[in-house]
Amino acid sequence: MQSRRHAPESEDTGIDLAPMLDFTVNLLIFFIITTSFIKEAGVTVFKPPAITAVNKPSGNLLIAVRENGDIWMDRRHIELRDVRTLIERLHIERPKDTVVIIADKESSAGAVAKVMDEVRLAGITDVSIAANPNGGGG
Amino acid sequence: MRKRRQPDNHDSSTGIDLAPMLDFVTNLLIFFIITAVFVKESGLTVNRPTSFEQENKEDSKSIQVQILDNGEIWIDNRAVDSHAVRANVERLSAVNPDSGVLILAQDKAPTGVLVEVVDQVHLGGVYNITFSTTQ
């Protein structure tokens, strides 16, 4: 028992988990930081298919337009006039984020255009319309 | 020494046991990895006219595609099928290679048709697309 109390470098009690824990916590912090800023729309819409749709890695602000013209953002149903203030605030927080409008197949082009104009007024010029690259039938 | 060889699955008295914390942290890590992968969106980028004057000025150069309320697509005063948009855009951009495409959609035109047209124009080789709506 005496020899177990001192001699800090040779204690044969299994693997030392501390370095693995350090590494895992670092990875965890990285993933928390990269994921927590995506603003999901919070509503299911049927995206139109498009073969040439490209992945938008910085498209973190998602605005959904439903077939009846309802606008959803950050899991809440919002009015058109609220889009500008919300986007302005988020644009100040993270200036590199771009907007992806997830519009339903049956939604009207006028509603999408109005949302795009509000986003542009809020200062984000890179706006794209979401499409499903896999279901592309042309 | 005999006593230390025995299986000591409780109180080995060498600091805190980190294994439960590691389990918990690994579970959190897996959760965040999974959510990080699945939220990426794919999309098509279109321009909006910055002002009405510019829109009218560009009319002469750009290829116009009109989408009506009922989903019909008109190019060059002819109604065309959605699959024929690509061929028409290829033909017109061969005549005038620098021209972009101006999509004039009526207010109630379905977005599905709009995205289809944008997709077809991309396939036709034109990526400079401006999207405008009319009453």
Determine, for residues B36 and A31 on separate chains, whether the beta-carbon distance falls below 8 Å: yes
Taking contacts as CB-CB distances below 8 angstroms, the residues of chain B near A7 are none
Least Cα distance to A43 among A113, A117, A103 occurs for A103
Q: B50 lies in a domain?
A: no
Q: B49 lies in a domain?
A: no
Determine, for residues A51 and B42 on separate chains, whether the beta-carbon distance falls below 8 Å: no
Taking contacts as CB-CB distances below 8 angstroms, the residues of chain A near B68 are none
Q: What is the pLDDT of residue B53?
A: 46
Q: B34 lies in a domain?
A: no
Report angle CA B85, B75, B59 to the nearest 5 degrees.
120
Q: What is the pLDDT of residue A87?
A: 92
Q: B62 lies in a domain?
A: yes
Checking ipTM against 0.85, whether it exceeds it is: no
Residues in chain B, pLDDT under 50: 1-6, 8, 53
Element (H, E) at A100: strand A99-103
3-state secondary structure of B92: helix
pLDDT tens-digit series, residues A65-111: 998 989 998 888 999 999 999 999 989 988 888 899 999 989 999 99
Q: What is the pLDDT of residue A30?
A: 83
* pTM strictly above 0.80: no
Report the residue from A24, A113, A130 with minimal CB separation from B26: A24
Domains: count for chain B: 1
CA-CA-CA-CA torsion sign (B37, B41, B45, B47): negative
CATH number of the domain at B103, please.
3.30.420.270
**Averaged pLDDT for residues A36-54:** 80
Q: Specify whether the CB–CB gap between A71 and A78 falls below 8 A.
A: yes
Element (H, E) at A26: helix A18-35
**What is the rounded CA–CA span in Å between residue B83 and residue A36?**
40
Q: What is the pLDDT of residue B52?
A: 53
Q: B9 lies in a domain?
A: no
In B, minimum Cα distance to A2 occurs at B1
**A99 φ, ψ to 5°?**
-105, 135
The answer to whether residue A136 scores a pLDDT higher than 50 is no
Q: Specify whether the CB–CB gap between B89 and B124 falls below 8 A.
A: yes
State the pLDDT confidence band at A1, using cuts at 50, 70 and 90.
Answer: very low
**Poorest-confidence range of A15-29, A35-49, A74-88?**
A35-49
Contacts 24+ apart (CB under 8 A), B86-89: B86/B120, B86/B121, B86/B123, B86/B124, B87/B124, B88/B124, B89/B63, B89/B65, B89/B120, B89/B121, B89/B124, B89/B125, B89/B126
- The structural domains of chain A, ordered by start, are 39-133 (3.30.420.270)
Domain with B67 in it = 58-134
Determine, for residues B131 and A113 on separate chains, whether the beta-carbon distance falls below 8 Å: yes
Q: B51 lies in a domain?
A: no
